[in-house]
Amino acid sequence: MKNRKKIGKKIKEFREFRQLSREDLALQANLDDSQLELIEEKGNVPSLGILIRISRAMGVRIGTFLDDQDKIGPAIVKSGDAAESFSFSTDDETTREHLNFFSLSQAKAGRHMEPFLVDIEPAEESDYKLSSHEGEEFIYVLEGSIEINYGKEVYQLEKGDTIYIDSVVAHNIHAAGDKSAKILAVIYTPV
């Protein structure tokens, strides 16, 4: 998928523009040099938490690496026109293909929130890895049902249910049972 390489390319461009070595950025973002190299050169898609750490280390919004345009003013996405999906991994080794994010704000420059439609495919329990990052998340279940592991608690949400969480608490979102689900997720990360 061409968007996989785009994220790494943008990270590399911003890093070079800021005259940061790969080693310096990795140190500031608390990553291994090899992780950053895989992201920049091989197109590995980082976890949301790692992408947030990279954006914070460079002092830019997370959306900086996801944006296609620098449009000023409102961003409108017509039904069925959500941007090509990204599949974020939750660790450095595994791509989480069962969580497909469709950006609803790529055309909006300077945004502070990241709204996504997320298609959630059923997955094996071994894929339920907890992750955390700075910020907050608002989730609205559009279709199906989901389960959220949040710290030591587990919440099951059905169509029409919402949850607002602090993202610093280790969490995981997955389809409940063996049926797909769809959510609207709005992610806020402070810069």
Structural domains in the chain, sorted by start: 2-65 (1.10.260.40), 85-188 (2.60.120.10)
Q: What are the C-alpha distances in Å from 20 to residues 26, 46, 57?
A: 10, 19, 11
Token representation of residue 113: 């929130």
Position with higher pLDDT, 191 vs 56: 56
Structure tokens at 78: 């017509």
User: Taking the C-alpha atoms of 63, 64, 69 and 72 in order, what is their torsion angle to the nearest 10 degrees?
Assistant: 80
- What does pTM read for this prediction? 0.65
For residue 73, the model assigns a pLDDT of 59
Minimum mean pLDDT range among 19-28, 55-64, 93-102, 151-160: 93-102
Tokens of 39: 């992201």
Contacts of 107 (CB under 8 A, 6+ apart): 67, 68, 69, 71, 75, 76, 77
Does position 5 have pLDDT exceeding 80, yes or no?
Answer: no
pLDDT recorded at residue 90: 42
Asked if pLDDT for residue 63 goes beyond 90, the answer is no
Give the pLDDT of residue 45. Answer: 82
Comparing CA positions, the residue from 28, 51, 56, 52 lying closest to residue 40 is 51
CA distance readout (Å), 140 to 99, 122, 165, 183? 15, 18, 12, 6
The pLDDT value given to residue 93:
47
